[in-house]
Chain A
Amino acid sequence: MPSTTGSVAIEAIELTKRYGSETALDGISLSIPTGTVYGFLGPNGAGKTTTMRLLTGLSTPTSGEARISGTPVDDRRALVPHVGYLPETPPLYEEFSAREQLEYVADLRNIPPETARSRIGSYLERFELADDAGKRINSYSKGMEQKTAFIQSVLHDPDVLFLDEPTSGLDPRAARTIRQSITEFADAGTTVFLSTHILPVVKEVADTVGVLFEGRLVAEGTPDEVKERAETGAGSTLEDAFLAVTSDVDVVAEATAEGDG
């Protein structure tokens, strides 16, 4: 089970990432409590994937620091039991079957074989993959691949789960399965860092929303708070708020400052 001893699951202080003269991420600070589903929004190229890579230790920041469950992200060995990461492109071996892939990953994660078999069996059933678990992944649909990758990212019961567009391109049934799983994991104490463009998903599952624009966090709060701060008027949607905060940064910065003040 995920640890719930620390109150802050994800902590980032002034994270900055530069590629030459280009700034991909400009001093992001985050403090996300344990058990939160954090919806991470932003237009294409805003720096969402860069942020996730920095928070998972897969990339190094130009400056700033980050901790996951109190563990510095640059201590990869100590970090790995705490995090599960599902990148936008599922990291799967196409030549394996789903069962082979998951048993292989369980071995790499030092999960005892009996526990692994039981968990894998249970997840395969839950994600309706049991009948196809023996087929090679190169014969899978995108939804099946995504579900397999999702299972492998949670197989070790991580404290923090990073999901990059987990429902993108999925049919409604598969997308719902993933959404329900996100909620269930959060209820069990897992912190979920969810990056997506699909705003209804965020609205449905996220406790807190952060909006990234041009490498800066331009809005943060509950979905309702973000809508309020964006001043998009009564009856506005999260989409309206998103469009507002990612089109006029100065206004939003002021609104956020006022809100904080």
Chain B
Amino acid sequence: MNLRQDLRHGGRIGRAEFVRSVRGYTCDTRRILGLAVALLFFGGNLLFLLPPIYVLGRSVRSVSTIPYFGPAATLLPVGLFLLGALRTMERLGSVDTEDLLLTTVHPRAVVVGLITAEIGRLLLWFGIPLVAIAGAFAVGLGSPVFLVTAGIVVVPIVCCMAVWGYAVGIWVLRILRRLPTVRRVLKVGGILALISIVILSQVAARYLVTGNVSIETLLSLISLTPLVDYLALGFVGTPISATITPTAVVILVTWIALTPVGLAVAERQATALWFTDDPVRNVTTDTLSETTGSSGGFSPPQPFSWTKAGRIAWGHLLRAVRHPQEFSHLLMLVFLVGPMAGTFFQSSSGERFPVLVAGTGVLFGVYLSGATFGLNPLGDARPQFPLVLLTETTPRTFLRGRVVAGLAIGLPFTILVPLASIAAGSRPLYGITFATVGTGFSLIAALFALGLGCAYPIYEERELWGAETVAPSTLVLISYSFVVMGGTIIGLGITWFGLTGNLIVTGILVGGLSVYLLPTVGLPILSYWYSQRRYRRYVLD
């Protein structure tokens, strides 16, 4: 009786959470447009993918001849389990209105609700393309029943891995709560690991292309026969159906049996997490904590203290260091620079290596100069606008404060990395020129970011690593990255050709340089002017 009631409550909670998510995805025009763009992009790709899948369905003669079927059968449950665990650690460890739900229903119902909603979200994002792919394959196979049998085979895996992923995710959260130092280290370590994975993936891909190791050999190592036999059950009733092995049946029974066990474990873990307190009081609520204290007042060091813009910049830097989640949007840089860096450093010869290091440092510094504080000036300051807009300080000073703060982060990379490249063997002229050119680009990027950020402010806070933060629009971030990195790379290329004496002054060159320099200098000036105007006229409507 209790179980049935909890499942009913869980279903209701799951439905409510799912509906909240869907309403969140479609709550304003900006998000709907974003979804439409994603749909166009991925939908287009899917349409191109379906004909080959159909042909594959027609040509395949046995399950074992389906490309990558073995590794996929193994990676599917592993991937689902990891996804469940990571999503739980990131978001599903608690629920909004936790106080209400936990004083209204049994924790088991909340667990069921959260997992149900997550499966719903998974189906919403991946269900339609997967059904389309499976449908195209089934039509090619001449056996539409495959859609049903494949679904029946996949559902137990999804349910089992979802509950176990949730249970393990909650368990990790409990461990981390007891070990706050490890939690902090993991946050930093996680980012470093992400950067490493992106770069190493490029190295690995290159090694696979140029080396003697084939990807088939590697993937064959991760094929587990019992899981392959189980997934082959999805082809029962189709022309390529294989014999049902006892192992496959055992695996099916295992999935089904492990699901309620996982649910019980998840419930126990969640109950322990939700109904117990931290062993030490959280620093955000610890009024007696000395670690959160600041001995003095607001006293920026030189040179920040010289001007008001500098003092405002110091305020930004101080708050960012104390609340590093503000930098979360910079992770985009990892995905942009990571692949390039891997390729660059692998393909570069010994002579060019220091120059590439210098160029990468400049690129990194220029990007950070604008992206760190400039891409959402109206959005991330909105809670304080009733204060800052009613002070004697002008919008120009506030904006310059952001420029200075951005430069304080970016310029060390822009200047020091090229200078350090001299020690690594680069010519001093190259290092100094790159640093000088980079400084100019940093200022340009910082000014450009302000206008772009003011044109499309984002106000919604979202929780990241346990703290509410306001990140710039992805559209703004992508536009900024594209323009600034593209422009900087072209500029550095021109500089390099100039330094090596490969630039011959011709009419075409002068024309080309004019075409390049006009927007490079003009756009940031216009952008800065526009940001001042937006800031000055800003109202809290």
Contact = CB atoms under 8 A, between A and B. Distances in A.
Contacts of B388: 91, 108
Given A100-B298, A134-B294, A53 B392 contact: no
Contacts of B318: 95-96, 100
Nearest to A56: B390
Interface residues of A, number: 46
A110 interface: yes
The prevalent SS among residues of B at the interface is loop
A103 B384 contact: no
What are the 8 A-B residue pairs with the smallest beta carbon separation, nearest first? A103-B298, A95-B322, A91-B387, A108-B391, A95-B319, A100-B298, A97-B294, A108-B393
Interface string A87-126: 1010111111101111111011110000001001000000
Contacts of B394: 77
Interface residues of B, number: 38
B386 A80 contact: no
A242 interface: no
Contacts of A95: 318-319, 322-323
B383 interface: yes
Contacts of B283: 139
Nearest to B299: A103
8 contacts: A53-B540, A58-B385, A80-B390, A105-B387, A138-B284, A139-B286, A139-B292, A140-B287
A104 B541 CA distance: 26
Contacts of B31: none
B315 interface: yes
B391 A80 contact: yes
A9 interface: no
A152 interface: yes
Interface string A151-191: 01000000000000000000000000000000000000000
B462 interface: no
Contacts of A97: 293-294, 297
A58 B389 contact: yes
Q: Which of A77, A89, A135, A152 gathers most chain B CB within 10 Å?
A: A135
Contacts of A53: 539-540
Contacts of A87: 386
A197 interface: no
Given A58-B539, A85-B386, A95-B319, 5 more contacts: A81-B392, A105-B391, A135-B287, A139-B292, A141-B287
Given A110-B392, A134-B293, A135-B293, A104 B386 contact: no
A237 interface: no
Nearest to B323: A95
Contacts of B295: 134
Contacts of A109: 391-393
The prevalent SS among residues of A at the interface is mixed
B288 to A, nearest CB: 8
B289 interface: yes
Contacts of A140: 287
B91 interface: no
Interface in B273-329: 283-287, 289, 292-299, 308, 311-312, 315, 318-319, 322-323
A92 B387 CA distance: 8
Nearest to B397: A108
Contacts of A77: 392, 394
Contacts of A103: 297-299
A110 B318 CA distance: 21
A83 B539 contact: no
A108 B386 contact: no
Contacts of B389: 57-58, 76, 80
A91 B293 contact: no
A140 B283 CA distance: 11
A93 B292 contact: no
Interface in A1-52: 19
A103 B315 CA distance: 11
Contacts of A93: 315, 319, 384
A120 B299 CA distance: 14
A60 interface: yes
A107 B311 contact: yes
Contacts of A99: 294, 296-298
B284 A139 contact: yes
A79 B293 CA distance: 35
A81 B315 CA distance: 22
A48 to B, nearest CB: 14
A101 B318 CA distance: 12
Interface string B375-406: 00000000111111111111000000000000
A261 to B, nearest CB: 37
Contact of B292 (A92, A102, A136): A136
A136 B387 contact: no
A152 B541 CA distance: 23
Contacts of A59: 539-541
A132 interface: yes
A107 B298 contact: yes
A124 to B, nearest CB: 11
